Amino acid sequence: MIYKRSSALFAEAKKYIPGGVNSPVRAFKAVGGDPIFVKEAKGAYLYDEDGNRLIDYIASWGPLILGHAFEPVINAVIDKARKGTSFGMPTEIETELAKLTVSMVPNIDKIRFVNSGTEACMSAVRLARGYTGKDKIIKFAGCYHGHSDSFLIQAGSGAVTFGSPNSPGVTQGTAKDTLLAEYNDLTGVQNLVSANKEEIAAIIIEPIAGNMGCIIPTDEFINGLRELCTKEGILLLFDEVMTGFRLGKGGAQEALGIDADIVMFGKVIGGGLPVGAFAAREEIMNHLAPDGPVYQAGTLSGNPLAMSAGLAMLTELNNKPEVFQSLADKTEYLHKGIVEVLAKKGVPYQINRYGSMISVHFTDEPVVDFTSAAKGNNDTFKKYFHGMLQKGIYLPPSAFESYFLNDAISYTDLDETIAAVKSVF
């Protein structure tokens, strides 16, 4: 396939936009080459500026669970746009979406809509601190909760020390309140809690991780976190920006059988438009302004276009829950097909899968946390990514990202994808 126009557009974009992109992973730095510029999309397919058709395995990083340009969502947005795009005032559709969300998700009474997953996670941590009266949080290496200062922290010098900033502009003062643990290491979390007694407001986690590939928590780990938080008066925060309404109507809480204290959403809840949300039990949410002292605000929060897209998407998923099984079946089919190819070719691999999330890691070792994910062979991944791209398959341009299947993908598309893997190796 030829990508001349995409390369020309990228060269032009770099003159006016830092790195030529508005989100770093789009720049292809991890895989080399120039990014693909999309012209339009429909169903399972992207159509780029050079006229190539690509089978899409990122679905805008998760939200387009029913495929691109899904008609009920598009129609809802068009209808709402004709009546105005933003008011900075309450609208009925905000309550409609809130009511539907609360009915679908276990263990939440109220929800606040914001404009992105980053904003949802940032606000949830502020609420947790305000509710508990404590300052520190624990996050996990490899879990991404947006680019808020509190989350851009790298490991410190030991298991019980606080981290240090991993981006200029994040202060040491902010970093000292973020403690870093390893995913699936309950003992490490227990040590951090013991070393910071009565100081930790929240533990924030991707309940099924998607930002170091798809990584699944062990039962001992995720249940242990819930027990530890309950015992120590710490709030357990589930970042379900990726997993919410993708793994089932009730997200990861339902799938894992674990109740979180605050849950953050994005992606699917906006039907592809910019949106985020955080939700909790009433006694926690009542600490939020204007009812309580914890301040959070946003002019475009609850934007009618985003609310209409989200309402159309969630209504479809609520009325047709069989879509989650359909997606899981397709993901399992893809998993088995790739395994058959890589095993015959003698390529070292690990494949992690949960529901409609899946990732391929080129390593002999099980991938259970960020450290093990980082041991994958990046040269092999680059060969795989670009080889698949040449065959018309668009994968995440990073070894540290989950694939997100959409239900418009057919078994013919999956067979084409598996055949492409065979041709690459």
Annotated catalytic residue 144: yes
DSSP 67: -
**Three-state SS at 172:** helix
Residue 137: is it exposed, middle or buried by C-beta count within 10 angstroms (0-12/13-18/19+)? buried
Would you call 267 a catalytic residue per the annotation? yes
Report CA 417 to chain centroid distance, whole Å.
Answer: 23
Number of H helices, E strands in the chain: 14, 16
Nearest of 312, 306, 255, 315 to residue 277 by alpha carbon: 306
155: its two tokens: 């490991």
Catalytic residue among 3, 57, 131, 144: 144
Catalytic residue among 239, 261, 369, 407: 239
CB-count exposure of residue 293 (10 Å: 0-12, 13-18, 19+): exposed
Catalytic-role residue among 110, 136, 267, 330: 267
C-alpha span between 13 and 18 (Å, rounded): 8
CB-based burial of residue 212 (10 Å sphere; 0-12 exposed, 13-18 middle, 19+ buried)?
Answer: buried
E-only strand ranges, 268-416: 276-280, 350-354, 357-361, 393-394, 403-404
DSSP notation for 14-54 = TTTSGGGSSSGGGG-TTT-SPPPPEEEEEBTEEEETTS-EE
Q: Among all chains, which residue has been given the structure tokens 């609208």?
A: 91
| Helix (H), strand (E) at residue 236 | strand 235-239
For 364, counting Cβ atoms within 10 Å of its Cβ (0-12 exposed, 13-18 middle, 19+ buried), the class is exposed
Catalytic residues: 144, 239, 267
